Structure 1
Amino acid sequence: MKSAPVRCVAVDDEPLALDIITAYVARLPAITLIQTFDDALAASEFLRTTEIDLLFVDINMPDISGIDLVRSLAIKPLIIFTTAYKNFAYEGFQLEAVDYLLKPIAFEPFVKAVNKAIDFLELKNKPKSEPEESLYVHSEYRLLKINLRDIEYIESLEDYIKIHVTGARPILTLLSMKKVLEKLPDAKFKRIHRSFIVPMAQVTAIQNRKAILLSGKELPISDSYTGFIQDWHQTIL
């Protein structure tokens, strides 16, 4: 059955920016624009009583900023910030925006941002019985999709984690080890140390209390997680 279009609202004090977003949405059948606002306060009142899926919102507006508008919402839709400034506010990262678009907004990055939002909504609405094949994290002010099969290992860096992926640079995200484990399938990913999580499929051998990965990387197995050794042996029997 075909999914209903993603319901979105655009908020910007610049009429031209609203015209561009309206024109771009009209070219994408997967989303529908139900309302636009050039007044952030009016938009705030509307969003308190109307459920939407996605909000395009300018950061710099005269009454209240887009960031303050998002913070004020009890129920937050997915957010795509728009801005005329290259240095995107750190607060947007804390609010876990799907993406941000630099003005003047071009069609290609607009489509990419919308597709991220659609992917995230599909993941969110997927029946829990279906296995997860991807991990979504916020990094560099964007929502990133990581294929589980590409994860080599995950490393803790105090308040952050570093996700090492095959064939690409590591991805840094503000997330705890506990939280990322909750997002991963338990049978496929195991914690072996306070600083490391590994995919079972990446482990080729265990030697001298170290997990040896396909890449040749060796990671320590701490006393608290020696149960991993038995779990791994069961996967190769």
Structure 2
Amino acid sequence: MQLKCVAIDDEPLALELMKNYISKFPSLNLMQTFEDAIAGAEYLRNNVIDLLFIDINMPDITGIDLVRALDKKPMVIFTTAYKNFAFEGFELEAIDYLLKPIDVARFGKAIEKAADYHRYKNATNGDGEGESLYVYSEYKMVKINHKDIEYIESMEDYIKIHLQFDKTILTLMPLKRVLEKLPEGRFQRIHRSYIVPVNKIISIQNRKVKLPAIELPVSDSYADFVRNWMK
């Protein structure tokens, strides 16, 4: 499997370095490079690619605005010389951000993420199967193994995913949407604020679900699940 990719950067030296790095990875097929962001945007509107490397700060249009304007968005890896990333990039679900000067080892990790996510999308078709969940947290894509999830908690517009060993991941997503990403039957919503992995339920008593690390309430709306589980 090769990922068809395009690189856009108004700095010739940065673009040359990107071409050099891409050439080191057989999984990447570089289709075009552009110093002119407008020309790059026109190419992207007329061609289907898998992965876009794009600088955030360019004179004609920012990388973020260019990606936002695309009708069909490829996977995106932003490159930037600044440590403070724009929040708007979070909306665009970027695979990763690479801070200039880019190290080849760090570049390789970003490529692994892109290849992994590409396989995930093509294997699941968005139906929630597979063994991993992908969410966007702290301006990057994060892979979470289903088996590591202890429970998921709604916090208004955000959700907090509680993992093994007291780790948590916060992401901007409604609880309903994350449930759609999870395999049906293996995770269950028990309350307006909670989703639990069914195989980690120890017991259900007095409208409370006991998990290895916590007890959570079951609301009236999900009482049918309790009855079915106890059969």
In structure 2, C-alpha distance between the alignment counterparts of 1:193 and 1:168, rounded to whole Å: 21
Q: 1:93 to 1:228 in 2, by over 3 A?
A: same
Change (3 A) 1:231 1:103: farther
Unaligned runs of at least 5 residues, structure 2 = none
Aligned-CA RMSD value: 1.4
- 2:74 is the alignment partner of 1:77: yes
Q: 1:227 aligns with which of 219, 224, 227?
A: 224
The yes-or-no answer on 1:61 pairing with 2:58 is yes
Q: Measure, in 2, the Cα distance between the counterparts of 1:42 and 1:28.
A: 25
The answer for the alignment partner of 1:106 in structure 2 is: 103
Q: Structure 2 vs 1, CA of residues 103 and 168 (structure 1 numbering), >3 Å: closer, same or farther?
A: farther
Alignment match of 1:141 (pick from 139, 142, 149) = 139
In structure 2, C-alpha distance between the alignment counterparts of 1:132 and 1:178, rounded to whole Å? 19
CA distance in structure 2 between the aligned counterparts of 1:211 and 1:151, rounded to whole angstroms: 15
2:115 alignment counterpart: 118
Partner of 1:179: 177
Q: Distance in 2 between matches of 1:127 and 1:69?
A: 28
Counterparts of 1:207 and 1:173, CA distance in 2 = 31
In 2: Cα distance, 1:206 partner to 1:71 partner: 46
Against the structure 1 CA distance between its residues 101 and 115, is the aligned structure 2 distance closer, same or farther, given a 3 Å change threshold? same
Report sequence identity in percent: 58
Name the CA distance, whole Å, in 1 between partners of 2:62 and 2:128.
39
Structure 1-normalised TM-score?
Answer: 0.94
TM normalised by structure 2 equals 0.96
CA contact under 8 A between 1:200 and 1:232: conserved in structure 2?
no
Distance 1:17 1:147 in 2: 35
Partners of 2:201 and 2:211 within 8 A in 1: yes
CA deviation profile, 1:157-189 (whole Å, cap 9, x unmatched): 011100001125210011111111110111100
Q: How big is the shift at 1:120?
A: 1.0
Which of residues 203, 206, 227 is equivalent to 1:208? 206
Distance 1:121 1:160, change over 3 A: same
Identify the range of structure 1 (40-49 vs 222-231) with the bigger mean alpha-carbon deviation: 222-231
Distance 1:166 1:226 in 2: 27
Aligned length: 230
Following superposition, the deviation at residue 22 of structure 1 comes to 0.9
Alpha-carbon contact 2:129-2:182 (below 8 Å) kept? no
Distance 1:142 1:109 in 2: 14
Deviating above 4 A after TM superposition, structure 1's stretches of 4 or more consecutive aligned residues are 127-130
Distance 1:127 1:141, change over 3 A: closer
Q: CA deviation at 1:109?
A: 1.5
- Alignment partner of 1:28 is 2:25: yes
For residues 229 and 220 of structure 1, what CA distance do their matches in structure 2 show?
Answer: 11
Gaps of 5+ in 1: none
